[in-house]
Structure 1
Amino acid sequence: MLTTNPFDDDKLREECGIFGVSGMDGAAAAVALGLHALQHRGQEAAGITSFDGRQFHIHRAMGHVAGNFDRDDVIRGLHGDTACGHVRYSTTGETSLRNVQPLYAELASGGFAIAHNGNISNAMRLRRDLIRRGAIFQSTSDTEVIIHLVATSQFRTLIDRFIDALKQVEGAYSLIVMTPEGMIACRDPLGIRPLVMGKLDDTIVFASETVALDVVGADYVRDVEPGELVIVKGGEISSHKPFAPVGARPCIFEYVYFSRPDSISDNRSVYSVRKAIGAQLAIEAPVEADLVVPVPDSGVPAAIGYAQQSGIPFELGIIRSHYVGRTFIQPGDQIRHLGVKLKHNANRELIKGKRVVLIDDSIVRGTTSLKIVQMMREAGAAEVHMRIASPPTRHSCFYGVDTPERAKLLAAKLDVGGMTDFIHADSLAFISIDGLYKALGEAHRADIHPKYCDACFTGEYPTTLTDQDENGPPTDQFALLHERVG
């Protein structure tokens, strides 16, 4: 089998998306709509859990939201005015229904459903300790560790047990939790993964991105703050901040690639930031050319910014088909090669004889860029210059993003000259780390305390990495024991 979007095979894949609704008749239907808007954050599986005041109702399935949650019988079975959902892309470990979220357990206090975006970077150590104490795990997900920590906590109230559990984990998490007492939404103290709150009449909505609020007609209220727990009980909302305050470090790659361009993140338009990144890239890495061509779809806003700043015309030199399935049978090498063009094809008459600037969001393994440059050459481009709207990705992410081990990252093995030769481009340039911060409205990246998590570029991780330090790079055995599912 071959993914018919071969370029996406070389992308960093965002972990997951979460969505929750409290206080709406037929809440599950609204959650299904919200998950549609978050589908880009996880295409492997989806799940919704609802609560009707007496009983929890659960439906989880492999595949997209469409086809699983657009059926009347499924939505009708998810009773209640409170519901939460999850779209999933696992970053390591097995793909199976038992790992699809929201995860659910019966605790002493009643039902407990949890949807998680991020990665617990000490989950392996915690899991081993819990198993020694008698815990029986039903999944390979790091999220299940939180359930067991809540269940075994010695604190009296559920919220205190939940806080006790969170104080034992490290890494990145945005969570939506459903209990008989109400809904809880929270972010880790550094705010690495996003989470926003909205309102529709008397209904409270939580989502990974503002676009999911838009699709259900909810107004954006604010971001859930780093280290904050927002508790919704009936119509009452309370905020708790049980952690010692630290400087926030939200993921900078949300602006580069992960978030939808029509989202608002930390009061910034993602689309406008990406255009500003492109403009800054044009200032830092100008080139004489005839056309600026985005690699669809993620390179489009940055390419517009680059074209506007440089004065070089913007053109759709690569056309993407949106009507091809995800996979197809590969009977031989010749057909496999032809399959590369099922989703992307060069606009040949536009490209022929032109000096082309290709704009993409990142280079991971380099195989994507190699294919794109080759496509431009075969279409008759006179020159092919590659410009990347992020700094070189030299380090793996341990906060819920599917990143190859460092040895497989092209920028970890080669300098820019070597990378240029590898992809067979006439030139290659990346935006600088200071340029990326400048596009976000910051003067530069402060060495003492940068305002974002940029570890994939700099190697400066904002938290300890217990599992990584103790176990080293992932192996097959590691993957079976511990699945980072975001």
Structure 2
Amino acid sequence: KRQLKIEDELHLDVHQVFKAVREVHYRLSGGYSVVGMINGYGLFAFRDPFGIRPLVYGKSVDENGVTEWAVASESVALDTLGFEDVQDVAPGECIFISVDGKMYLEQCHSSPKLQNCIFEYVYFARPDSVIDGMSVHKARLNMGERLAEKIMRLKPNHGIDVVMPIPDSGRYAAIQTAARLGIEFREGFVKNRYVGRTFIMPGQAQRKDSVRKKLNPLPDEFAGKTVLLVDDSIVRGNTSRKIVEMARLVGAKKVYFASSSPPLLHPNVYGIDMPARSEYIAHGQSISEIEKEIGADFLVYQDLDDLIAACTISEEEAHEFDTSCFTGEYCTGDITEEYLKLLELQRNDSAKNGNGDAEPEEIDSMDIHNED
């Protein structure tokens, strides 16, 4: 059953594909989703044993009754192409789809364990995707719900007049925060779609030039009001400070700031080029110190337990997440301090500017904002 034939000639045993993937799993450590083709035979796809990075597949039957298959990193890609029966590739699993449309799958790791990256739900993924059964949109609404509850605990007499998102990935949490608080939700910033993602720009000069170009405030929405700004995360923090400044310049009475994720403290080592540890605003600083640095009248971060609960389908289907960006506990269990120090040297701004001997520049960057 596992032998593929082309023109009645035996060419490939699928067991050999699965065996090769099994060897890959035991030789590699980290987060990966891999899709490839064996010319003339078919397509294969596999996911790391922890399922850190997402991978889905789906099928579609054309007008002639022929089954077509597709594989993608997010379910939304398959939805928009009309594919159905979308399923996640399980951690450690490999699928093989032959040229004649037959599907084969096998678990290629002896001890797979789902521990997917929670930051996919916070920022990386599109809101209309579903990852490991959990809607990203629903997760972000849940984050907003729990943020509101924390605000009511910490500041019951908050006096907030309006809740506003930082476009775009702060929007869904902001919508639910406003609903839970019983406060009006308004759009206070217009986003310029013609400016690229500034957090990937190599130096602070380029990022600084892009901040005001990317977001422009609507003065009527701020004038004389206590506003709560909701973002998905605070990374370097200087953009958050600029946004607070913009809100004050157009007449906000008070500016509160909420992050739907906990303080970012540690680098992502599983395929995402995030800043060096020393460049995070939360590195070595308390919440009150960060609040003062960004110029907010009040700052609140999501608690990690609440974030995990927000991204969990139900208690019955609960599983662990990789939360290493917040805790420094890496699910693969083999990340050393020496490796993190090397990563620090590679990811800081001086290195990205090709000036490794220089002192790190003052970071004045746009934090990461997803293009929803």
| TM-score band w.r.t. shorter chain | 0.7 to 0.9
Question: 1:246-270 deviations in whole A, cap 9, x for unaligned?
Answer: 4310111111111111111222221
CA distance in 2, matches of 1:242, 1:295: 42
1:172 aligns with 2:37: no
Task: Give 2:272's aligned residue.
Answer: 401
Question: 1:67-99 deviations in whole A, cap 9, x for unaligned?
Answer: xxxxxxxxxxxxxxxxxxxxxxxxxxxxxxxxx
Question: 1:379-407 deviations in whole A, cap 9, x for unaligned?
Answer: 11000000100011111110011221211
1:385 aligns with 2:250: no
Task: Give 1:455's aligned residue.
Answer: 324
Task: Give 1:245's aligned residue.
Answer: 111
The amino acid that maps onto 1:413 is G
1:372 aligns with 2:243: yes
The amino acid that maps onto 2:146 is Q
The amino acid that maps onto 1:189 is P
Contact 2:121/2:139 (CA < 8 Å) preserved in 1? yes
User: Do the aligned partners of residues 325 and 476 (structure 1) sit closer, same or farther apart at CA in structure 2, a change above 3 Å counting?
Assistant: closer
Of the three residues 56, 59, 80, the one matched with 1:196 is 56
1:209 aligns with 2:74: yes
The amino acid that maps onto 1:403 is M
Gaps of 5+ in 1: 1-52, 54-108, 111-155, 328-332, 481-486
CA distance in 1, matches of 2:196, 2:107: 45
Gaps of 5+ in 2: 1-5, 62-66, 153-157, 199-203, 353-372
User: Do the aligned partners of residues 294 and 170 (structure 1) sit closer, same or farther apart at CA in structure 2, a change above 3 Å counting?
Assistant: same
Aligned length: 319
User: Do the aligned partners of residues 325 and 232 (structure 1) sit closer, same or farther apart at CA in structure 2, a change above 3 Å counting?
Assistant: closer
User: Do the aligned partners of residues 257 and 220 (structure 1) sit closer, same or farther apart at CA in structure 2, a change above 3 Å counting?
Assistant: farther
User: Do the aligned partners of residues 336 and 188 (structure 1) sit closer, same or farther apart at CA in structure 2, a change above 3 Å counting?
Assistant: closer
CA distance in 2, matches of 1:190, 1:214: 25
The amino acid that maps onto 2:279 is K
CA distance in 2, matches of 1:382, 1:308: 22
The CA deviation at 1:325 is: 6.5
The amino acid that maps onto 2:113 is G
CA distance in 1, matches of 2:253, 2:117: 38
Question: 1:107-149 deviations in whole A, cap 9, x for unaligned?
Answer: xx99xxxxxxxxxxxxxxxxxxxxxxxxxxxxxxxxxxxxxxx
CA distance in 2, matches of 1:218, 1:227: 23
Contact 2:31/2:51 (CA < 8 Å) preserved in 1? yes
The CA deviation at 1:416 is: 0.2
The CA deviation at 1:165 is: 2.7
Question: 1:352-405 deviations in whole A, cap 9, x for unaligned?
Answer: 110000000001111111111011011110000001000111111100112212
The CA deviation at 1:276 is: 1.1
Of the three residues 353, 366, 385, the one matched with 2:224 is 353
- 3-state DSSP class of the match of 2:24? helix
The CA deviation at 1:411 is: 1.2
The amino acid that maps onto 2:342 is P
Percent identity between matched residues is: 38
The amino acid that maps onto 2:37 is M
1:264 aligns with 2:130: yes
User: Do the aligned partners of residues 324 and 246 (structure 1) sit closer, same or farther apart at CA in structure 2, a change above 3 Å counting?
Assistant: closer
1:230 aligns with 2:230: no
CA distance in 2, matches of 1:408, 1:369: 14
Contact 2:134/2:313 (CA < 8 Å) preserved in 1? no
The CA deviation at 1:470 is: 5.1
CA distance in 1, matches of 2:55, 2:42: 18
Contact 1:196/1:220 (CA < 8 Å) preserved in 2? no
Quick one: higher RCO (CA 8 Å, sep 6+), 1 or 2? 1
The amino acid that maps onto 1:378 is L
The CA deviation at 1:343 is: 2.3
1:161 aligns with 2:26: no
Q: TM (normalized to structure 2)? A: 0.79
State how 1:23-422 maps to structure 2 within 5 Å: 157-180=16-39, 181-201=41-61, 202-233=67-98, 234-286=100-152, 287-324=158-195, 340-422=211-293
Question: 1:47-83 deviations in whole A, cap 9, x for unaligned?
Answer: xxxxxx9xxxxxxxxxxxxxxxxxxxxxxxxxxxxxx
The CA deviation at 1:441 is: 3.7
- 3-state DSSP class of the match of 1:177? strand
Q: What is the RMSD of the two structures over their aligned residues, measured on CA atoms?
A: 2.9
- 3-state DSSP class of the match of 2:212? coil
The CA deviation at 1:200 is: 1.3
User: Do the aligned partners of residues 241 and 411 (structure 1) sit closer, same or farther apart at CA in structure 2, a change above 3 Å counting?
Assistant: same
User: Do the aligned partners of residues 456 and 230 (structure 1) sit closer, same or farther apart at CA in structure 2, a change above 3 Å counting?
Assistant: same
CA distance in 2, matches of 1:325, 1:247: 36
CA distance in 1, matches of 2:206, 2:268: 34
The amino acid that maps onto 1:401 is I
CA distance in 2, matches of 1:248, 1:200: 27
Question: 1:154-192 deviations in whole A, cap 9, x for unaligned?
Answer: xx9454234323310101111001113321111111000
Task: Give 1:142's aligned residue.
Answer: none
Contact 2:273/2:347 (CA < 8 Å) preserved in 1? no
Contact 1:278/1:303 (CA < 8 Å) preserved in 2? yes
The CA deviation at 1:337 is: 7.0
User: Do the aligned partners of residues 250 and 426 (structure 1) sit closer, same or farther apart at CA in structure 2, a change above 3 Å counting?
Assistant: same
Task: Give 1:145's aligned residue.
Answer: none
State how 1:439-454 maps to structure 2 within 5 Å: 439-441=310-312, 451-454=320-323
CA distance in 2, matches of 1:157, 1:306: 51
The amino acid that maps onto 2:322 is C
